[in-house]
Protein backbone atom coordinates (compact mmCIF):
# COMPACT_ATOMS: atom_id res chain seq x y z
CA UNK A 1 0.00 0.00 0.00
CA UNK A 2 1.38 3.41 -0.97
CA UNK A 3 1.35 5.94 1.79
CA UNK A 4 1.57 9.58 0.60
CA UNK A 5 3.61 11.95 2.67
CA UNK A 6 2.95 15.70 3.25
CA UNK A 7 5.05 16.59 0.21
CA UNK A 8 2.73 14.70 -2.15
CA UNK A 9 5.52 12.52 -3.53
CA UNK A 10 6.15 8.81 -3.09
CA UNK A 11 8.15 7.95 0.04
CA UNK A 12 11.87 7.49 -0.44
CA UNK A 13 11.66 8.81 -4.02
CA UNK A 14 13.51 12.02 -3.09
CA UNK A 15 16.61 12.37 -0.86
CA UNK A 16 16.12 14.15 2.44
CA UNK A 17 18.62 16.89 1.51
CA UNK A 18 16.69 17.71 -1.64
CA UNK A 19 13.42 17.78 0.32
CA UNK A 20 14.88 20.31 2.74
CA UNK A 21 16.23 22.41 -0.13
CA UNK A 22 12.85 22.37 -1.89
CA UNK A 23 10.99 23.35 1.25
CA UNK A 24 13.41 26.21 1.85
CA UNK A 25 12.93 27.39 -1.70
CA UNK A 26 9.15 27.29 -1.43
CA UNK A 27 8.86 29.03 1.90
CA UNK A 28 11.97 31.22 2.34
CA UNK A 29 12.37 32.84 -1.09
CA UNK A 30 8.96 34.60 -0.96
CA UNK A 31 10.05 36.00 2.39
CA UNK A 32 13.61 36.94 1.36
CA UNK A 33 12.85 38.47 -2.03
CA UNK A 34 10.94 41.52 -0.68
CA UNK A 35 13.68 42.08 1.89
CA UNK A 36 16.45 41.93 -0.72
CA UNK A 37 14.49 44.25 -3.04
CA UNK A 38 14.07 46.75 -0.22
CA UNK A 39 17.81 46.56 0.51
CA UNK A 40 18.73 47.20 -3.15
CA UNK A 41 16.23 50.06 -3.32
CA UNK A 42 17.75 51.66 -0.22
CA UNK A 43 21.24 51.48 -1.75
CA UNK A 44 19.98 53.08 -4.97
CA UNK A 45 18.23 55.81 -2.98
CA UNK A 46 21.42 56.58 -1.05
CA UNK A 47 23.37 56.84 -4.31
CA UNK A 48 20.78 59.18 -5.81
CA UNK A 49 20.81 61.33 -2.66
CA UNK A 50 24.61 61.44 -2.69
CA UNK A 51 24.66 62.52 -6.35
CA UNK A 52 22.02 65.20 -5.68
CA UNK A 53 24.12 66.54 -2.81
CA UNK A 54 27.15 66.66 -5.13
CA UNK A 55 25.18 68.49 -7.83
CA UNK A 56 23.87 71.01 -5.30
CA UNK A 57 27.41 71.60 -4.04
CA UNK A 58 28.67 72.13 -7.62
CA UNK A 59 25.84 74.57 -8.33
CA UNK A 60 26.62 76.56 -5.18
CA UNK A 61 30.28 76.70 -6.17
CA UNK A 62 29.38 77.88 -9.69
CA UNK A 63 27.06 80.57 -8.30
CA UNK A 64 29.79 81.83 -5.97
CA UNK A 65 32.30 82.01 -8.83
CA UNK A 66 29.83 83.77 -11.11
CA UNK A 67 29.19 86.38 -8.40
CA UNK A 68 32.92 86.93 -8.11
CA UNK A 69 33.21 87.43 -11.88
CA UNK A 70 30.48 90.10 -11.72
CA UNK A 71 32.23 91.88 -8.83
CA UNK A 72 35.58 91.76 -10.63
CA UNK A 73 34.11 93.28 -13.77
CA UNK A 74 32.65 96.12 -11.71
CA UNK A 75 36.06 96.72 -10.14
CA UNK A 76 37.69 96.69 -13.58
CA UNK A 77 35.30 99.44 -14.71
CA UNK A 78 36.12 101.48 -11.62
CA UNK A 79 39.87 101.18 -12.13
CA UNK A 80 39.51 102.05 -15.80
CA UNK A 81 37.71 105.26 -14.79
CA UNK A 82 40.53 106.05 -12.36
CA UNK A 83 43.12 105.40 -15.03
CA UNK A 84 41.32 107.81 -17.36
CA UNK A 85 41.20 110.46 -14.63
CA UNK A 86 44.97 110.22 -14.20
CA UNK A 87 45.55 111.17 -17.82
CA UNK A 88 46.84 114.73 -17.77
CA UNK A 89 49.81 116.68 -19.07
CA UNK A 90 53.16 115.10 -18.33
CA UNK A 91 51.51 111.79 -17.33
CA UNK A 92 50.15 111.19 -20.80
CA UNK A 93 53.42 109.97 -22.26
CA UNK A 94 54.10 107.77 -19.24
CA UNK A 95 50.59 106.38 -19.40
CA UNK A 96 50.97 105.34 -23.03
CA UNK A 97 54.10 103.35 -22.22
CA UNK A 98 52.54 101.78 -19.14
CA UNK A 99 49.42 100.82 -21.06
CA UNK A 100 51.48 99.30 -23.84
CA UNK A 101 53.57 97.23 -21.40
CA UNK A 102 50.66 96.00 -19.31
CA UNK A 103 48.46 95.29 -22.30
CA UNK A 104 51.23 93.14 -23.76
CA UNK A 105 51.44 91.26 -20.44
CA UNK A 106 47.67 90.81 -20.47
CA UNK A 107 47.74 89.40 -24.02
CA UNK A 108 50.38 86.90 -22.90
CA UNK A 109 48.11 85.77 -20.05
CA UNK A 110 45.13 85.60 -22.44
CA UNK A 111 47.16 83.33 -24.75
CA UNK A 112 48.04 81.10 -21.80
CA UNK A 113 44.37 80.91 -20.85
CA UNK A 114 43.49 79.87 -24.40
CA UNK A 115 46.03 77.06 -24.10
CA UNK A 116 44.53 76.14 -20.72
CA UNK A 117 41.06 76.05 -22.28
CA UNK A 118 42.26 73.69 -25.00
CA UNK A 119 43.78 71.33 -22.43
CA UNK A 120 40.65 71.43 -20.26
CA UNK A 121 38.42 70.72 -23.26
CA UNK A 122 40.61 67.76 -24.22
CA UNK A 123 40.53 66.49 -20.65
CA UNK A 124 36.75 66.78 -20.43
CA UNK A 125 36.34 65.06 -23.79
CA UNK A 126 38.37 62.11 -22.51
CA UNK A 127 36.42 62.03 -19.24
CA UNK A 128 33.10 61.91 -21.10
CA UNK A 129 34.22 59.31 -23.63
CA UNK A 130 33.25 55.67 -23.14
CA UNK A 131 36.05 54.52 -25.41
CA UNK A 132 39.09 56.40 -24.07
CA UNK A 133 41.20 54.99 -21.27
CA UNK A 134 41.13 56.74 -17.89
CA UNK A 135 44.92 56.54 -17.99
CA UNK A 136 45.05 59.11 -20.82
CA UNK A 137 43.00 61.58 -18.75
CA UNK A 138 45.19 61.18 -15.66
CA UNK A 139 48.31 61.56 -17.78
CA UNK A 140 46.97 64.81 -19.27
CA UNK A 141 46.03 66.13 -15.82
CA UNK A 142 49.31 65.27 -14.08
CA UNK A 143 51.78 65.96 -16.88
CA UNK A 144 50.22 68.98 -18.60
CA UNK A 145 47.36 70.74 -16.79
CA UNK A 146 48.76 70.84 -13.26
CA UNK A 147 52.37 71.77 -14.21
CA UNK A 148 51.19 74.39 -16.72
CA UNK A 149 48.94 76.19 -14.23
CA UNK A 150 51.36 75.94 -11.30
CA UNK A 151 54.32 77.30 -13.26
CA UNK A 152 52.67 80.59 -14.32
CA UNK A 153 54.15 83.66 -12.59
CA UNK A 154 50.65 85.09 -12.09
CA UNK A 155 49.22 81.84 -10.68
CA UNK A 156 48.46 83.26 -7.22
CA UNK A 157 46.92 86.47 -8.58
CA UNK A 158 44.51 84.54 -10.80
CA UNK A 159 44.09 81.49 -8.57
CA UNK A 160 44.95 79.35 -11.57
CA UNK A 161 46.26 76.20 -9.89
CA UNK A 162 43.55 75.94 -7.17
CA UNK A 163 40.93 76.47 -9.87
CA UNK A 164 42.38 73.67 -11.99
CA UNK A 165 42.32 71.32 -8.98
CA UNK A 166 38.67 72.24 -8.34
CA UNK A 167 37.79 71.50 -11.97
CA UNK A 168 39.61 68.17 -12.00
CA UNK A 169 37.86 67.07 -8.83
CA UNK A 170 34.34 68.40 -9.39
CA UNK A 171 33.60 69.07 -13.07
CA UNK A 172 31.70 65.96 -14.10
CA UNK A 173 29.30 67.43 -16.64
CA UNK A 174 29.04 65.67 -19.99
CA UNK A 175 26.87 67.27 -22.66
CA UNK A 176 24.42 64.63 -23.94
CA UNK A 177 24.76 66.18 -27.42
CA UNK A 178 28.56 66.19 -27.15
CA UNK A 179 28.89 69.83 -28.21
CA UNK A 180 30.14 71.43 -24.99
CA UNK A 181 31.28 69.20 -22.16
CA UNK A 182 32.08 70.73 -18.80
CA UNK A 183 30.34 73.28 -16.60
CA UNK A 184 32.68 74.44 -13.86
CA UNK A 185 35.59 74.87 -16.26
CA UNK A 186 33.73 77.53 -18.29
CA UNK A 187 32.93 79.54 -15.17
CA UNK A 188 36.61 79.44 -14.19
CA UNK A 189 37.63 80.62 -17.65
CA UNK A 190 35.44 83.72 -17.19
CA UNK A 191 36.81 84.19 -13.68
CA UNK A 192 40.45 83.97 -14.77
CA UNK A 193 39.91 86.42 -17.62
CA UNK A 194 38.20 88.91 -15.29
CA UNK A 195 41.04 88.58 -12.77
CA UNK A 196 43.60 89.07 -15.55
CA UNK A 197 41.85 92.30 -16.60
CA UNK A 198 41.74 93.48 -13.00
CA UNK A 199 45.43 92.69 -12.61
CA UNK A 200 46.26 94.76 -15.70
CA UNK A 201 44.33 97.85 -14.56
CA UNK A 202 45.66 97.65 -11.01
CA UNK A 203 49.20 97.58 -12.33
CA UNK A 204 48.48 100.46 -14.74
CA UNK A 205 47.03 102.66 -11.98
CA UNK A 206 49.83 101.85 -9.54
CA UNK A 207 52.61 102.51 -12.07
CA UNK A 208 51.08 105.84 -13.11
CA UNK A 209 50.60 106.92 -9.51
CA UNK A 210 54.21 105.98 -8.70
CA UNK A 211 55.56 107.85 -11.74
In three state form, how does the secondary structure of the chain look? CCCCCCCCCCCCCCCHHHHHHHHHHHHHHHHHHHHHHHHHHHHHHHHHHHHHHHHHHHHHHHHHHHHHHHHHHHHHHHHHHHHHHCCCCCHHHHHHHHHHHHHHHHHHHHHHHHHHHHHHHHHHHHHHCCCCCHHHHHHHHHHHHHHHHHCCCCHHHHCHHHHHHHHHHHCCCCCCCCCCCCCHHHHHHHHHHHHHHHHHHHHHHHHHHHC
| pLDDT digits 0-9 by tens, 81-113 | 766 665 555 567 777 888 889 999 999 999 999
Rounded to two decimals, what is the model's pTM? Answer: 0.63
**pLDDT reported for residue 9:** 46
**pLDDT reported for residue 5:** 45
The ranges of the chain with pLDDT < 50 are 1-7, 9
**pLDDT reported for residue 208:** 78
**pLDDT reported for residue 150:** 93
**pLDDT reported for residue 39:** 57
**pLDDT reported for residue 7:** 45
Amino acid sequence: MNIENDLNIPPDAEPVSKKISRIATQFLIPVLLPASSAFIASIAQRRVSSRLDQVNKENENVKHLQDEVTNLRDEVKFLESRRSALTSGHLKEIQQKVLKDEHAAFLKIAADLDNMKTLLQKRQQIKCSLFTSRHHRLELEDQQLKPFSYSRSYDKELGLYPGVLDILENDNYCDPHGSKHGHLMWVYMDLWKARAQLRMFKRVVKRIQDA
